[in-house]
Structure 1
Amino acid sequence: MTERLYYTSDVLECTAQVRRCDQQSEGHYAIVLDKTIFHPQGGGQPADKGWIAGMPVETVLQQGDDVVHILAQPLAANAVRLEVDALCRALHARLHSAGHLIGYAGEQYGWRPVKAHHWPGEGRITFAAGENSREPEIQWLDEFIEGWRSAALPRHIAFEDGRRKVRFDDLPAYDCGGTHVASLAELGSVVIGSVKMKKGQLIVSYTVQ
Structure 2
Amino acid sequence: MTERLYLTQPALSADIDVLSCTLLEDGRHAVRLSATPFHPQGGGQPSDVGWLGAVEVLRVSNENDDIIHYTNAAIAPGPVLARVDQVPRQLHARLHSAGHVIGHVMMQLGWTPTKAHHWPTEGRVVGIANEAVSALDSGEIERRCNALIAEDLACALSFEGGVRKVAFGHLPAFPCGGTHVESLAQIGRIEIQSARVKKGEVSVRYDVTA
TM-score by length of 1: 0.96
Q: Which residue of 2 aligns with 1:87?
A: 87
Q: Is the 8 A contact 2:114 2:127 kept in 1?
A: yes
Q: Is the 8 A contact 2:56 2:73 kept in 1?
A: no
Task: Give the CA deviation at 1:199.
Answer: 3.4
Task: Give the CA deviation at 1:121.
Answer: 0.4
Partners of 2:176 and 2:136 in 1: CA distance:
25
Q: Is the 8 A contact 2:49 2:85 kept in 1?
A: yes
Q: Is the 8 A contact 2:9 2:179 kept in 1?
A: no
Q: Which residue of 1 aligns with 2:145?
A: 145
Q: Which residue of 1 aligns with 2:169?
A: 169
Q: Which residue of 2 aligns with 1:48?
A: 48
- Asked if 1:130 corresponds to 2:130, the answer is yes
Q: Is the 8 A contact 1:109 1:134 kept in 2?
A: no
Q: Which residue of 2 aligns with 1:186?
A: 186
Partners of 1:19 and 1:65 in 2: CA distance:
16
Q: Secondary structure at the match of 1:104?
A: helix
Cα-Cα RMSD: 1.2
Q: Secondary structure at the match of 1:115?
A: strand
Q: Which amino acid aligns with 1:114?
A: T
Task: Give the CA deviation at 1:24.
Answer: 2.6
Q: Which amino acid aligns with 2:31?
A: I
Q: Which amino acid aligns with 1:165?
A: K
Task: Give the CA deviation at 1:63.
Answer: 1.2
Task: Give the CA deviation at 1:129.
Answer: 1.6
Which digits, 9 at most, give the CA deviation of each residue in 1:39-63, with x for residues without a partner?
Answer: 0000000001111121211110001
How do 1:26-37 and structure 2 match up within 5 A? 26-37=26-37
Unaligned runs of 5+ in 1: none
Q: Is the 8 A contact 2:125 2:203 kept in 1?
A: yes
Partners of 1:142 and 1:208 in 2: CA distance:
11
Q: Secondary structure at the match of 1:58?
A: strand
Residues paired across the two proteins, number: 209
Task: Give the CA deviation at 1:167.
Answer: 0.7
Q: Is the 8 A contact 1:109 1:135 kept in 2?
A: no
- Asked if 1:97 corresponds to 2:97, the answer is yes
Q: Is the 8 A contact 2:38 2:48 kept in 1?
A: yes
Q: Which residue of 2 aligns with 1:17?
A: 17
Runs of 4+ in 1 over 6 A off after TM superposition: none
Q: Which residue of 2 aligns with 1:157?
A: 157
Task: Give the CA deviation at 1:128.
Answer: 1.3
Unaligned runs of 5+ in 2: none
TM-score by length of 2: 0.95
Partners of 1:205 and 1:10 in 2: CA distance:
30
Partners of 1:26 and 1:170 in 2: CA distance:
48
Task: Give the CA deviation at 1:134.
Answer: 4.5
Percent identical: 44
Task: Give the CA deviation at 1:140.
Answer: 1.4
Task: Give the CA deviation at 1:12.
Answer: 1.0
Partners of 2:25 and 2:174 in 1: CA distance:
38
